Amino acid sequence: MAAVARRLGVAPSTLRTWDRRYGLGPSRHTGGKHRRYCASDIGRLELMQRALLRGASTAEAARYALQQMPKSDGAAPETPAQPLPPPAEHLTAAQNGAAARRLRSAAVALDGRAVQQTLDDAIGGAGAIDAWDGVIAPVLEACGAGWPGAPAGVEVHALLTECVLAAIVRATPVLDHPRNQRPVLLSRVPGEQDPLPLHVLAAGLAVRRIGSQLFGLPLPGPALSAAVRRSSPAAVVLWSERAGNADPALFPEVSRGGLRSRLFAVGAGWRSPMLPERVELLSGLRTAADRIEYVLVGN
């Protein structure tokens, strides 16, 4: 499974979710209970990936792959192959709400296993960015504010944060051959406390086979400038959620020495009038992933 995950540029947990939910798993049996992916299994997964890149939901992409390459064991639908239907770009509010309630209940109960399973299902079904926007971030925000009638304290928020980080890291494939020759450097600005949004962006880029270099700790200006000089990234992304932390002077500092890296400011802390001319302001994680992919490698 690990070799197939590397080939496709997805996490092994994503392959397990696709197998469990849609039957897109290995079909060749070896000794005992083990199964192995064959060429047709990988072909279906590649069809599914192409449908996902066209904007299909995970369920629609799986159905399309099984229709185009039916399984010989009869597991595939018997309906004739159909063109890929116009997809819905995001999960419905009802689906997000149900997943958020499950995540909230598991976190309040301090059931780490249930939290991890719920996170893996949400990320495997929708992708890291959509799962973050529709399920994870709202629950974290509510947890931080405190839930009426629920014993949500520091320990609940701590457990949830650690589980989210672990789930996002699991869902971030390690790329042998990224589409971009030079990485995207991702960093929080000094003073930003939450590392999770940048991990989500790194996961969203990795699924698109865009390689990045993520600094989990916020780097001060001189260290950030040194990192840019030494790695010569194709793009530099600075994340700021709070306006008080957003220092536009960081951008001229990281672009000293004639480096031609593209510069992006991402997060609610930035304001367009405050940014230098070369810096592009991106409103959210999905917009950032779309724009970075387009700028670096096109669609």
The three-state DSSP-derived secondary structure of 83-124 is: CCCCCCCCCCHHHHHHHHHHHHHHHHCCCHHHHHHHHHHHHH
Contact 177, 289 (CB under 8 A): no
159-172 in b/e form (b: 16+ CB < 10 A) is bbbebbeebbebbb
> Rounded to an integer, what distance in angstroms lies between the CA atom of residue 78 and that of residue 67?
8
63, 123, 135, 171, 208 from 60: Cα distances, Å:
5, 16, 20, 20, 18
Report pLDDT for 152.
55
> Rounded to an integer, what distance in angstroms lies between the CA atom of residue 156 and that of residue 109?
8
Report pLDDT for 214.
95
Average pLDDT rounded to a whole number, residues 135-152: 73
> Who has greater pLDDT, 264 or 13?
264
DSSP string, 12-47: HHHHHHHHHHH--S--EE-STT-EE--HHHHHHHHH
> Rounded to an integer, what distance in angstroms lies between the CA atom of residue 218 and that of residue 191?
7
> Rounded to an integer, what distance in angstroms lies between the CA atom of residue 109 and that of residue 151?
9
> Who has greater pLDDT, 146 or 58?
58
Four-point Cα dihedral 177, 179, 181, 183, nearest 10: -90
Query: What does the mean pLDDT of the chain come to?
Result: 82
Average pLDDT rounded to a whole number, residues 78-91: 42
pLDDT at 46 over 60: yes
| Percent of residues, the chain, with pLDDT higher than 70 | 84
The answer to which of 3-17, 101-115, 226-240, 256-270 has the lowest mean pLDDT is 3-17
Q: Cβ-count burial of 19 within 10 angstroms (0-12 exposed, 13-18 middle, 19+ buried)? A: middle
> Rounded to an integer, what distance in angstroms lies between the CA atom of residue 174 and that of residue 207?
9
Average pLDDT rounded to a whole number, residues 38-54: 78
pLDDT at 79 over 70: no
| Rg of the chain (C-alpha set) | 21
DSSP string, 40-93: HHHHHHHHHHHHHHTT--HHHHHHHHHHHS--TTS-S-SSPP-PPPPPPSS--H
Report pLDDT for 90.
44
> Which residue type does 204 have?
G
Strand partners, 215: 187
Contact 253, 206 (CB under 8 A): no
Average pLDDT rounded to a whole number, residues 130-139: 92
> Who has greater pLDDT, 36 or 113?
113
Average pLDDT rounded to a whole number, residues 95-116: 89
pLDDT at 80 over 50: no
Residues in the chain: 299
> Rounded to an integer, what distance in angstroms lies between the CA atom of residue 117 and that of residue 102?
10
The answer to which of 57-66, 206-215, 239-248, 271-280 has the lowest mean pLDDT is 57-66
Structure confidence at residue 165 as a pLDDT band (50, 70, 90): very high
